[in-house]
Amino acid sequence: MRLSRLRRIAMDPATDTSYFPRWMLRREGIVGPGERLPAAQTVVLGLQHVVAMFGATVLAPLLMGFDPNVAILFSGIGTLIFFIIVGGRVPSYLGSSFAFIAVVIAATGYAGSGPNANLGVALGGIIAAGLLYAAIGFVVMAIGHRWIDRLMPPVVTGSIVAVIGLNLAPVAVKGVSANPFDTWIGIATVAAVGVVAVRAPGLARRLPILLGGVAGYLLYAVCANGLGLGKPIDFSAVADSAWIGWPKFVAPVWSAHAMALIAPVAIVLVAENLGHVKAVAAMTGQNLDAWLGRAFIGDGLATIVAGAGGGTGVTTYAENIGVMAVTRVYSTLLFVVAALAAIVLGFSPKFGALIMTIPGPVLGGLSIVVFGLITATGGRIWVQNRVDFSRSRNLVTAAVTLTVGAGDLALKLGGFTLGGIGTATFGAILLYQLFRDDAKPAESGSEP
């Protein structure tokens, strides 16, 4: 009788009044967030989550000129912060957020290769976004999350997400356009990612960015270092780097312009985190709404901490949700293992030097896929929520938002300037609230 009760508690954390779950041992079948596998299996599956997040978490800082070592380190620290804030109730890994790329590039004037000379300015803006994000979390804890659904219905969130990918498209294309060799390497990398995503067996299909990037890297090395068709990869920095060392932390610089440009990304992170929590709830059969405010706060605090030391803003990762869907193991202890492993990697300069050898056209090819997937995700939100584009309100909101964001329309407000993503984000929210029509929604998902 007692065992049955503990099993119900483990599968549904809403029935447990303690701060952390009891993590009852379970050796087979579906493993709930409040359950655990034997220690050895927990470690192995935890490391699997490190592999799942690795490709995207490393790619994002490279595209912004951040140190990938520091980004990996703070992804681990951020995951532990999130774990503590939600009381170990929501299984999620926090990795580098792609929502920051366009605004960071705009705020810092980053050229697209090497270290970002204005990194401190970006960090101040990332902290501002984290503060706004955490503040939204406290509001949700106080009054609930229904107001978010009304303020940002699917047509708005889908448009905002799609704009991020469209706004970044020129950056991706530029990365593979230096010469014909770079272009063909970029195309080959895109093809490799596609083959892995569509044809790879088992869990490998969940790692298209990582495995496709490795394939592109090896092809470039053979063609450039072996056949002399391009600029060879220089491994001297890898050889000269120590295995263990202190990360290169960077202090934030407070710029009102950068903060105004980057802070609105918090709205995107709210929509992103809301979707991820709902996805995990659907997979586990639990209602996690009670921890939604805490999830926002945890993600916001993790972003603040990352920005304070030189890391990228962080967000919950779909890659890790995919791994949970495949394994049907949702134990939150796996993410403690993954976080600790990421922290260890963050203290390896040799690892960071190896990451920095990734050729530009390989990064460009990966960017084409990732930014395209971001855009497509916006469309997926519309489809899944059955947004009715026969309604003028929805059609105009999406049309204006996409055009403004893709064209990178900057909006000057006194001494502040909002970039294309910021203008599109606030524009989508305002347009939807201002444009009213008398037609009733044809589908339940088209209107909050």
Torsion over CA of 89, 81, 208 and 368, rounded to 10 degrees? 130
The predicted structure's pLDDT at residue 448: 46
- Rounded CA-CA distance 313/300 in Å is 9
The predicted structure's pLDDT at residue 398: 92
407 DSSP 8-state letter: T
The predicted structure's pLDDT at residue 397: 92
Q: Does 124 map to a domain?
A: yes
Mean pLDDT by 10 residues, the chain (448 residues): 47 64 82 86 82 77 89 94 93 88 85 83 95 95 85 84 81 84 92 87 72 90 88 86 87 90 86 77 79 93 95 84 75 92 90 82 83 80 87 91 86 65 82 72 46
The predicted structure's pLDDT at residue 209: 74
Q: Does 314 map to a domain?
A: yes
Q: Does 243 map to a domain?
A: yes
The predicted structure's pLDDT at residue 48: 74
Q: Does 78 map to a domain?
A: yes
Q: Does 219 map to a domain?
A: no
Q: Kindly list the distances between the CA atom of residue 10 and the CA atoms of 5, 15, 256, 289, in Å, as whole numbers in the listed order.
A: 9, 9, 46, 17
Domain with 266 in it? 41-173+233-446
Q: Does 140 map to a domain?
A: yes
pTM of the model: 0.75
The predicted structure's pLDDT at residue 206: 64
- Rounded CA-CA distance 348/166 in Å is 35
The predicted structure's pLDDT at residue 3: 43
The predicted structure's pLDDT at residue 254: 93
Residue with tokens 């495949």: 326
Contacts of 286 (CB under 8 A, 6+ apart): 11, 12, 13, 14, 32, 33
How do beta strands 35-36 and 24-25 pair?
Answer: parallel
Number of domains in the chain: 1
| AA identity, residue 233 | I
Q: Does 189 map to a domain?
A: no
SS3 188: helix
The predicted structure's pLDDT at residue 380: 81
Q: Does 404 map to a domain?
A: yes
